[in-house]
Amino acid sequence: MPVGKERRGERRGLMSHYWNPVYGALRAAAMRADTFVGALEIFLVVGFVIALAGTFIFVGLASYVRTGVTQSFDESVLRWMGAHHSKLTDSLMLEITALGTGMVVMMIVLVAGLFLTLTQHKYSALLLLVSTFGGLVLNTVLKMGFHRPRPQVIEWGTQAVSSSFPSGHAMSAAIVYSTVAYLAARLNRRLWARWTMMTLALVLIVAISASRMYLGVHYPSDVVAGVVIGLAWAGFCMATLEAIQRYAERRAPEVMREEKPAPPAS
């Protein structure tokens, strides 16, 4: 092929009719990403897509819950867990579920927010606060809207108030622990450390969610719904922070005095 000749004019095979629009979209996205407005738009769109996907899954699950489709499965899981209780596991689950209580979550947010502010990551601290308190408001609104009674399948292992759907513990854990892990990962240069932080956050979210079912105060559909909508909201907030930083790098350098960029992975 002559030097300098464009490859875009060549045929890419029998599937070129389907792939050409994809390649075109990728080229357009790459070109847009070279401008500060493009970078801003791309991250905001990603955040919107994450939020939309999570909302779509949540709405679908909520419709099944309302019509009673999940009830048999929910109760079967709780009965199975009730049949496998032990004193050691009971104590362990009480400790784990405490990690999702309001007081513990607020202390984690305050400590992490203070650290981020002192290390010149003001917008990261703001993201954490908005993500956490926005999630609390969203959970309250959803609980009031669905007003699902708490399970009465097995004896409760802890006290619980308010309605059951979605799980407040699962939702707050998904928001706070995923956001804290993401912000901590942004400050770490090593790729393996970043993945370790995110993995630990995932383990905590799963453990707290499982503890709510084991203790008999939530159905499986409650905790799944809480995790899904929590991660959707947290993902949107994370994408917004990335968009702010891309914008600041190009057109608002004064912002970078309050939000140091994340170090490159190594």
Using one digit for the tens of pLDDT, what is the confidence trace for 122-143? 888 988 999 999 999 999 999 9
In this structure, is residue 178 part of a structural domain? Answer: yes
At 121 the three-state DSSP class reads strand
Provide the number of structural domains found in the chain. Answer: 1
In this structure, is residue 23 part of a structural domain? Answer: no
In this structure, is residue 167 part of a structural domain? Answer: yes
Q: How confident is the model at residue 120 (pLDDT cuts 50, 70, 90)?
A: confident
In this structure, is residue 7 part of a structural domain? Answer: no
Q: Name the one residue in this structure whose structure tokens are 């981020």.
A: 116
In this structure, is residue 217 part of a structural domain? Answer: yes
With contact defined as beta carbons under 8 Å apart, do 70 and 64 qualify?
yes
In this structure, is residue 32 part of a structural domain? Answer: no
| C-alpha distance from residue 168 to each of 17, 86, 136, 200, 251 (Å) | 48, 25, 8, 20, 39
As a whole number of angstroms, the distance between CA 223 and CA 233 comes to: 15
pTM over 0.85: no
In this structure, is residue 160 part of a structural domain? Answer: yes
**What is the span of the domain harbouring residue 117?**
37-257
In this structure, is residue 249 part of a structural domain? Answer: yes
As a whole number of angstroms, the distance between CA 40 and CA 243 comes to: 5
- pLDDT surpassing 50 at residue 50: yes
As a whole number of angstroms, the distance between CA 87 and CA 140 comes to: 33
User: Token pair of 147, please?
Assistant: 């007003």
- Write out pLDDT tens, residues 150-174: 999 998 988 888 899 999 999 999 9
